[in-house]
Amino acid sequence: MGERRHMATVAAPRTPPGPPRPRNPVRRVLPAKRDRLAAMTALRDRYGPAVRFPVGPLWFYLFSDPDLVQEVLVGSAEDMALGRMHGAVGRITGDGLFSSTGDLHRRQRRIVQPAFHRSSIRTYVDHIDARTEAMLDTWEHAGRVDIVRETTALAMHVVTDTILGGERIEDSDAMYEWMGAGVEWLDSMLTPLGPALAKLPNRRNRAFDRASDGLRSTFERMIALRRAEGREGPDALWALLSATDEDGAPLPDDLIRDELITMVLAGQETTAIALSWTLRLLADHPEAEERIAAEARAATLDDGALDALTWTRRCVEEGMRLYPPAWVVSRIAARDTTIGGWEVPKGVNVFASPWVTHRDPELWPDPERFAPEQVSSRHKFAYFPFGGGARKCIGSTLAVWEATIALALIARRVRLRPEGPPPPPVAQLTLRPGGPIWMSVASR
Closest Cα partner for 241 from 262, 217, 260, 218? 260
Q: How far is the CB of 399 from ligand HEM (least distance, A)?
A: 4
User: Binding to ligand HEM (CB under 6 A): which residues in 29-58?
Assistant: none
Cβ closest to ligand HEM, residue 49 vs residue 395: 395
Cβ closest to ligand HEM, residue 9 vs residue 268: 268
Q: Are 321 and 358 within 8 A, CB to CB? A: yes
Q: How far is the CB of 163 from ligand HEM (least distance, A)?
A: 5
Q: What share of the chain is helix, strand, coil (3-state, %, to 5)?
A: 55, 10, 35
Q: Where are the alpha helices (DSSP H) in 230-335?
A: 236-242, 253-283, 286-298, 305-308, 310-322
CA distances from 230 to 112, 241, 242 (A): 18, 9, 10
For the four alpha carbons of 35, 319, 351 and 431, in that order, the dihedral sign comes to positive
The string of DSSP codes covering 30-63 is PP-HHHHHHHHHHHHHHH-SEEEEEETTEEEEEE
Cβ closest to ligand HEM, residue 12 vs residue 356: 356
What is the total count of residues that contact ligand HEM (CB under 6 A)? 24
Q: Does 385 bind ligand HEM (CB under 6 A)?
A: yes
Q: Which residue among 10, 62, 393, 410 contacts ligand HEM (CB under 6 A)?
A: 393
Euclidean distance between CA atoms 298 and 312, whole angstroms: 12
Cβ closest to ligand HEM, residue 9 vs residue 337: 337
Q: Does 18 bind ligand HEM (CB under 6 A)?
A: no
Q: Does 314 bind ligand HEM (CB under 6 A)?
A: no
Q: How far is the CB of 266 from ligand HEM (least distance, A)?
A: 4
Q: Does 87 bind ligand HEM (CB under 6 A)?
A: no
User: Binding to ligand HEM (CB under 6 A): which residues in 95-124?
Assistant: 97-98, 109
433 SS3 class: strand
Distance of CA 131 to the CA centre of its chain: 21
Q: Does 387 bind ligand HEM (CB under 6 A)?
A: yes
Q: Does 372 bind ligand HEM (CB under 6 A)?
A: no
Cβ closest to ligand HEM, residue 275 vs residue 292: 275
Cβ closest to ligand HEM, residue 8 vs residue 305: 305
DSSP element (H, E) containing 343: strand 342-344
Dihedral of the alpha carbons of 185, 188, 190, 195, in degrees to the nearest 10? -80
Cβ closest to ligand HEM, residue 10 vs residue 37: 37
The string of DSSP codes covering 89-147 is HHHHHTTSTTT--HHHHHHHHHHHGGGGSHHHHHHHHHHHHHHHHHHHHHHHHHSEEEH
The binding track of 245-264 with respect to ligand HEM, each residue x by CB under 6 A or -, is -----------------xx-
Q: Which residue among 152, 270, 353, 404 contacts ligand HEM (CB under 6 A)?
A: 270
User: Binding to ligand HEM (CB under 6 A): which residues in 149-168?
Assistant: 159, 163
Q: Which residue among 292, 329, 344, 408 contacts ligand HEM (CB under 6 A)?
A: 329
Binding site for ligand HEM (CB under 6 A): 97-98, 109, 159, 163, 262-263, 266-267, 270-271, 274, 325-326, 329, 385-387, 391, 393-395, 398-399
